[in-house]
Amino acid sequence: MYGGGGISKAKIVRLDDELANERVSLVKMDIEGSEAAAIKGCEKLIKKYKPALAICVYHKVTDLWELPLLIKSFVPEYKLYLRHHSKTQIETVLYAVCE
């Protein structure tokens, strides 16, 4: 929630806790470099439901290899695809799907 005066406040929750009783089919993340922590926060959900994932990997250079390795460590069956959606260095998305 925007607090005014340039200060923002947000409650951070784990998706494993918030969606514990929900069947999830898609997880999309573009959270300004916090993707690794968020993926770790939905490990149970990913392992149980194997949802399709669309994860931005352009905020940190290391995301290009660390996030795919993290996802594959949870569900080795995921097929991974990388797609770049712009003419600049931003908007590179890692897609993970189980067939």
* Phi/psi at 54 (5° precision): -130, 100
Residues 6+ apart with CB under 8 A from 31: 38, 56
CB atoms within 10 A of CB 72: 13
- According to DSSP, the β-strands at 52-56 and 26-29 are parallel
Instruction: Give the pLDDT score at 9.
Output: 84
Stretch 14-22: mean pLDDT: 91
pTM: 0.85
**Domains defined for the chain, CATH in brackets:** 15-97 (3.40.50.150)
Amino acid at 47: K
Please compute the mean of the pLDDT values over residues 5-19 and round it to a whole number.
85
What gap in Å lies between CA 56 and CA 35, rounded to an integer? 8
